[in-house]
Structure 1
């Protein structure tokens, strides 16, 4: 579960948004309030807030977002419990508060509004409230056996490792199957093998590398593997012919020829030259390659 928090000044406008029935809003938590509509609740907030004229951002606004799967299985009582425990973790007891759950999107989430001013006129300290909100949400998720942000991150990292390996496997397969001799042929070969190759264009309109899309992931070549940087791919493609080294063709994108960035082209030429030199050294020493 993700928790976000901040102090705001526009209490009534936020209440109106939270209570928007078109978003299938449902009031799932109330504390120290009797109002039944945004105007009444905002008025109750304001009556307490008038005790502290120095505090301008006098309402605390939180968004609590369980994972998609958790949000689908939690019922109203469960959302109420989330709010109650979150307020407890944030030490916001004895304050006016109201919360709505929004189910207008696949990702169900809670909007929680708490009066920053308590009944004695004291303002709640909002320093580092964003980080504190996330920490409190983590604690609540652990208590209620919901998925935490750390668990989501670990799962993403685990899946990302598999995606990287799969993109690299299809990269090597494309080189072996189709033996592309330029960037354009390479992009087509990768597309045939289910990977969308997106050219990275710099400010001067030149090609400086590639990104790779697979299963919803979008990664730079160097993020997939160091062998998949633009210059390393170029070395594989253009290293078979001396003519190609001196004439690295522009890449055609939407019928527009995009030139290879000079720096990238120079890097390709250097890598190919170094490989040729190493090949000659190994051959002279009788080393098989």
Structure 2
């Protein structure tokens, strides 16, 4: 479950928008309030807020978002319990508050509006409210057996790790078995294996690297594996192609049917590679002689 929080000044407008944007919004929590509409509740907030004119951002706005799967199973009663526990974790259980649920786009989430001013006219300390909201939501999720942000993050990391391995496996097979001598050929072979390779070209028409799109994920080459960074990928195909891969003094290569200049970083690494190969070749010739 994700928790987000911030202090706002536009109480009425924000509450009305949040409440009315979803026709089937259902109130699941109400504390120290009698009103039944955003306008009525805003007026009740204002009565208490009038005790502290110095505080301008006098309302706290929270959004509690369980995962999609958890949200499908949560009843209004359970969402009320989540809201109560969250406000207790935030030490706001005795403030005026209203919470209503949205179930739009199959993603259940609760909007909670809390009067920042208590009944003694004191303003609630909103320092690091965003971070504290997330931490409170995490604790509530753990207590109620819901999926925490940490668990979601670990799951996503595992998914990305598997995606990276699959892309790298396709790349290695193509570079080893097909040994493409042109970037366009490499891109075509990757596409035939369901991996879309997208060149990253800046406004100066310089090739800076590549992105790899696979199963809904988009990763930079260096994120897949260091051997797939822009410079190393170009160098690998350059080795297959030999002389003539990089054309003219402007360091251009053929890409998508046209000449594309290499970025300074890639061009420099290619030049160093060429010098190293020349030295090795020369040394080998002398030994043979």
TM-score in terms of structure 2 length: 0.91
Query: What is the aligned partner in structure 2 of residue 249 from structure 1?
Result: 253
Query: What is the aligned partner in structure 2 of residue 135 from structure 1?
Result: 135
Q: Is the 8 A contact 1:251 1:260 kept in 2?
A: no
- Give, in angstroms, the shift of residue 216 of structure 1: 1.6
Aligned counterparts of 1:275 and 1:228: Cα–Cα separation in 2: 21
Does residue 38 (structure 1) correspond to residue 38 (structure 2)? The answer is: yes
Q: Hey, which bits of structure 1, 4+ residues long, moved more than 4 A?
A: 245-248, 275-286
Does residue 271 (structure 1) correspond to residue 273 (structure 2)? The answer is: yes
Moved more, 173-182 or 118-127: 173-182
Aligned counterparts of 1:285 and 1:79: Cα–Cα separation in 2: 79
Aligned counterparts of 2:283 and 2:225: Cα–Cα separation in 1: 27
Query: What is the aligned partner in structure 1 of residue 147 from structure 2?
Result: 147
- Give, in angstroms, the shift of residue 196 of structure 1: 1.0
Aligned counterparts of 2:261 and 2:38: Cα–Cα separation in 1: 58
- Give, in angstroms, the shift of residue 64 of structure 1: 0.8
- Give, in angstroms, the shift of residue 18 of structure 1: 2.2
Aligned counterparts of 1:82 and 1:65: Cα–Cα separation in 2: 10
- Give, in angstroms, the shift of residue 213 of structure 1: 1.0
Aligned counterparts of 1:92 and 1:26: Cα–Cα separation in 2: 21
Does residue 26 (structure 1) correspond to residue 26 (structure 2)? The answer is: yes
- Give, in angstroms, the shift of residue 285 of structure 1: 7.9
Aligned counterparts of 1:246 and 1:174: Cα–Cα separation in 2: 24
Aligned counterparts of 2:278 and 2:179: Cα–Cα separation in 1: 19
Alignment gaps of 5+ in structure 2: none
Q: Is the 8 A contact 1:60 1:115 kept in 2?
A: yes
Alignment gaps of 5+ in structure 1: none
Moved more, 201-210 or 217-226: 201-210
